[in-house]
A = this chain, B = another copy of it.
Amino acid sequence: MNDTVKTIRDPIHGDIEFKGLFLDLLEAPELQRLHNIKQLGFAHLVFPGGHHTRLEHSFGAYYMAQQAAEHLKLDSEEKEIISCAAILHDIGHGPFSHTLESILRDTLNVDHVDLTEKLILGEHAIFDHLEKEFIDHLTVFDVLNKHGIHHKEIAEIIKGTSSSKKYLAQLLDSAIDVDQLDYLARDAYYTGVAYGMIDYNRFIQTLTISDDNLAVEKKGIGVIENILMARTLMYSSVYFHKTVRIAELMLSKAIELVENSDPFELFKLTDGEMINELKKMGELQRETATRLKYRKLYKKAYSPSISDLDRSQVQFVKKLDDVNFRRKKEIEFEQKLKIPEGKIIIDVPQTELQLSEPRIGQTEIKIVDGINPHTFDEYTPVGTAVRSKNIPDWIVMIITDEKYREEVYKKCREDTL
A binding-site residues for B, Cβ under 8 Å? 7-12, 14-15, 27, 29, 32-33, 35-36, 38, 44-45, 47-49, 51-53, 55-56, 59, 130-131, 134-135, 137, 189-195, 197-199, 201-202, 205, 222, 225-226, 229, 232-233, 236-237, 270-273, 275-276, 286-287, 290-291, 293-296, 380-382, 384-385, 388-389
B contact residues around A192 at 8 Å (CB): 9-12, 14
- Min CB gap A338→B, angstroms: 20
B contact residues around A201 at 8 Å (CB): 14-15
The answer to whether B226 touches A195, judged by C-beta atoms less than 8 angstroms apart, is: yes
**Count of chain copies:** 4
Dominant secondary structure of chain A at its interface with chain B? helix
Alpha-carbon distance between A3 and B259 when the two chains are bound, in angstroms: 45
B contact residues around A29 at 8 Å (CB): 294
The answer to whether A134 touches B51, judged by C-beta atoms less than 8 angstroms apart, is: no
Beyond A137-B296, A222-B236, A382-B389, is A52–B49 a contact (Cβ under 8 Å)? yes
B contact residues around A272 at 8 Å (CB): 271-273, 275-276
Alpha-carbon distance between A15 and B204 when the two chains are bound, in angstroms: 11
Alpha-carbon distance between A293 and B55 when the two chains are bound, in angstroms: 13
Q: Point out the residue from B38, B59, B225 that lies within 8 Å of A233, measured CB to CB.
A: B225
B contact residues around A38 at 8 Å (CB): 51
Q: Point out the residue from B10, B197, B233 that lies within 8 Å of A197, measured CB to CB.
A: B197
Beyond A32-B295, A131-B290, is A10–B49 a contact (Cβ under 8 Å)? yes
